């Protein structure tokens, strides 16, 4: 089953230590704060609402809102060491960019800062309003400001809706839109509190508290596969949002307009231990054993171990994979099992070498040509002709009374593949053959023919 993204919103919230130098015991637990939505700011000696506004807030109106939010009157002076709660929506935003770490194949960028589509190159930066498209057997890898990275697979269309850092709180927000295709995400690897990464398509939401996951979709359903951590996967049915928690090694399917399925264990990695490591035929044929409950094998072939040079992709329901026109060299195969729901499991990697044996050329035909076998020859001279042999120094013509060449009448040397015998033969039957002379010795004899006079 070929997967594309039709409607999945991916929201990543990872947990870590509070970066604003505030000890946990200073937080008012009764306030039930959401530390992703609020910045705990420690007042310094010369701080006031005015200085806080100038440094961090987007609107002067936020001064009044901030005082009311903290139940601290504007007329009352802020005290050094005091903790005030600043909603992140009040904070200024610094735009950030994604760096292109890898481009392979047909990858183009398009967006607000580009005049039409342009070829994307390694090292390019993509900001808000920009995006990329990958073609067949093409891929790209992006690195975001919080350390998150995305592998964008072939035939995908991804755009950056928003990418910024909150001033002061120094957390990052990344909002992406995947129109179609497939991507694998390693998000917020430092587990910084408040960082969020959201991948949006029209139909469902996955709130991620881990770091690595995959999503996929067709026009009428979405898939989610958790590789690390936990994912809260939700979708609306009859207007009511229902959510399930998916842990590492499990996935879920959400049909459009329906609640997500209960967690389904992802297929185990295929067994590639018995696959050959040296293949001497082309096309290359490999057979992956299918486990119980597996509907197909999804494969990716690359010429490097990091799978940055994608050569071919195949999906096989029988487990048989065929790769044609592979030059001699080292190759890397990544395979996943896919179940009847379309969920893909853990990767298995197999490295193999292609070293095609060249066919052994047939030995040149060493054959007597004239006189014809059983032919009657005229009076002298008699022309003897045979096929030339590459590498021969000379030839030895033998003429005998018997086919076993026990009664040899003549032995004649020739440096060409023919010889004119100037003597006449008496009446009767004769036999002749030719030997190739190399290094001064007969190395190979031709077939035997007869003639008569």
For residue 421, the domain's CATH number is 2.60.40.10
Nearest to 336 by CA among 223, 243, 233: 223
Write out the DSSP string of 157-177. Answer: EEEEEEEEEETTT--EEEEEE
Token look-up 């100038």 returns: 54
* Residue 153: per-residue pLDDT: 86
373 and 407 part of one domain: yes
Tokens of 393: 């120094």
387 and 442 part of one domain: yes
Q: How many CB atoms lie within 10 A of CB 334?
A: 17
Largest CA distance in the chain: 141
pLDDT in tens, 37-70: 899 999 999 999 999 999 999 999 999 999 999 9
Domain contains 330: yes
Domain contains 223: no
411 and 348 part of one domain: no
36 and 86 part of one domain: yes
Most confident of the ranges 147-161, 208-222, 285-299, 423-437: 285-299
Residue 283 has pLDDT above 50, yes or no: yes
- Whole-angstrom Cα distance, residue 145 to residue 34? 23
Domain contains 32: yes
Whether residue 22 is preceded by a cis peptide bond, meaning omega within 30 degrees of 0, is no
338 and 374 part of one domain: no
385 and 337 part of one domain: no
> The domain containing residue 338 runs over which residues?
278-354
285 and 313 part of one domain: yes
333 and 395 part of one domain: no
Domain contains 149: no
Domain contains 244: no
372 and 342 part of one domain: no
Domain contains 190: no
Q: Domain total for the chain?
A: 3
Q: Which of 65, 92, 119 is the last residue of a domain?
A: 92
* Residue 20: per-residue pLDDT: 34
Between residues 449 and 365, which one has the greater pLDDT? Answer: 449
336 and 393 part of one domain: no
Q: What percent of the chain has pLDDT over 90?
A: 53
Q: Which residue stretches of 9-141 are H helix?
A: 49-56, 61-69
> How many Cα neighbours within 13 Å face the side chain of 139?
22
448 and 372 part of one domain: yes
Domain contains 51: yes
pLDDT in tens, 182-215: 888 888 888 888 888 888 776 666 666 457 888 8
Domain contains 228: no
Using only C-alpha atoms, what is the Rg of the chain? 39
* Residue 1: per-residue pLDDT: 41
Average pLDDT, the chain: 85
Per-residue burial over 152-190, b = 16 or more CB atoms within 10 Å of its CB, e = otherwise:
bbbbbbbbbebbbbbebbbbbbbbbbbbbbbbbbbbbee
């Amino acid at each position: 089953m070929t997967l594309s993204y039709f409607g999945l919103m991916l929201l990543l919230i990872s947990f870590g230590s509070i970066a604003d130098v505030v000890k946990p015991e200073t937080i008012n637990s009764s306030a039930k704060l959401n530390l992703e939505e609020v910045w705990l700011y420690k007042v310094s000696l010369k701080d006031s609402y005015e200085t806080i506004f100038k440094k961090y807030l987007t609107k002067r109106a936020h001064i009044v809102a901030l005082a009311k939010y903290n139940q601290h009157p504007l007329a009352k002076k802020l005290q050094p060491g005091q903790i005030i709660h600043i909603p992140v929506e009040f904070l200024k935003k610094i735009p950030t960019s994604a760096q292109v770490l890898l481009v392979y194949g047909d990858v183009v960028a398009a967006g607000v800062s580009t005049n039409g589509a342009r070829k994307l190159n390694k090292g390019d930066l993509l900001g808000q309003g920009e995006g990329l498209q990958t073609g067949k057997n093409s891929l790209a890898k992006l690195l975001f400001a919080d350390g998150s990275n995305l592998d964008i697979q072939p035939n995908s269309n991804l755009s950056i809706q928003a990418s910024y850092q909150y001033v002061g709180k120094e957390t990052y927000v990344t909002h992406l839109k995947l129109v179609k295709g497939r991507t694998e995400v390693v998000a917020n690897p430092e587990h910084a509190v408040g960082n969020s990464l959201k991948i949006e398509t029209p139909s469902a939401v996955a709130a991620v508290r881990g770091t690595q996951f995959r999503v996929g979709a067709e026009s009428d359903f979405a898939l989610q596969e958790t590789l690390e951590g936990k994912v809260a996967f939700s979708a609306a049915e009859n207007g009511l949002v229902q959510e399930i928690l998916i842990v590492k090694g499990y996935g879920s399917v959400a049909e459009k307009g329906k609640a997500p399925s209960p967690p389904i264990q992802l297929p185990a990695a295929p067994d590639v231990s018995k696959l050959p490591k040296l293949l001497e035929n082309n096309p290359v044929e490999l057979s992956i054993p299918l486990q119980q409950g597996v509907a197909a094998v999804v494969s990716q072939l690359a010429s490097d171990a990091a799978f940055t040079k994608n050569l071919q992709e195949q999906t096989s329901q029988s487990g048989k994979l065929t790769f044609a026109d592979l030059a001699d060299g080292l190759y890397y195969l990544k395979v996943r099992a896919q179940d009847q729901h379309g969920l893909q499991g853990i990767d298995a990697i197999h490295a193999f070498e292609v070293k095609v044996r060249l066919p052994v050329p047939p030995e040149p035909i060493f054959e007597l040509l004239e006189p014809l076998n059983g032919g009657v020859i005229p009076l002298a001279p008699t022309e003897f002709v045979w096929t030339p042999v590459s590498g021969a120094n000379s030839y030895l013509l033998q003429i005998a009374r018997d086919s076993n060449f026990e009664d040899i009448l003549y032995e004649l040397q020739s440096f060409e593949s023919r010889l004119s015998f100037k003597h006449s033969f008496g009446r009767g039957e004769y036999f002749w053959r030719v030997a190739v002379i190399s290094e001064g010795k007969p190395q190979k004899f031709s077939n035997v023919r007869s003639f008569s006079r």
